[in-house]
Every structure is written in C-alpha cells, then in structure tokens.
C-alpha cells in the first residue's frame, strides 16, 4: 500500500496555502509539481491495487473479479 511521508503531505499543503495567499516562485512551483506527481502516482497505484482485489458478488451467488 502506498503511503506518502507525512512531511511531504505537509509540504504539499504548505505550498498550496502559500500559492493562494502570496504566490509561488519558480522553484516552489517546480517542487509543488514534483510532489503532486509523486502523490498522484501513489494514489493511482493504490486505486489500481484495490480494484484488482475487488470481487463483485452477483445476485445468483457467483463471484466475479473486476477487469
């Protein structure tokens, strides 16, 4: 299971607040983009793993894995 370090999540939130209040410089924008990309990559991997392990139980009692 994907887990982004708490310090990185805090930094994403910090940059987001700063962007809304005073704006970001080029270095901070690049850091924000990199952190967001890392977060999204992990989120998508988690979602994919969850869906691969999901089973649908049909009314007739049969089980079917998601494709």
Tokens for 56? Answer: 């649908």
- Looking at the predicted structure, is the pLDDT value of residue 2 above 80? no
Beta strands in 1-61 (DSSP E): 55-57
CATH topology of domain 6-65: Helix Hairpins (1.10.287)
- Section 29-49 average pLDDT: 94
- Where are the domains positioned within the chain? 6-65
Reported as a single tens digit per residue, the pLDDT across 44-55 is: 999 999 999 999
Question: What distances in angstroms separate CA 50 from CA 1, 9, 21, 38, one per listed residue?
Answer: 9, 22, 37, 19
CB count in 10 Å sphere of residue 5: 9
């Amino acid at each position: 299971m994907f887990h982004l370090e708490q310090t990185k999540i805090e930094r994403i939130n910090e940059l987001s607040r700063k962007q809304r209040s005073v704006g970001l410089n080029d270095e901070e924008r690049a850091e924000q983009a990199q952190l967001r990309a890392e977060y999204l990559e992990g989120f998508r991997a988690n979602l994919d793993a969850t869906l691969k392990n999901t089973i649908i139980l049909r009314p007739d009692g049969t089980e079917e894995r998601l494709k």
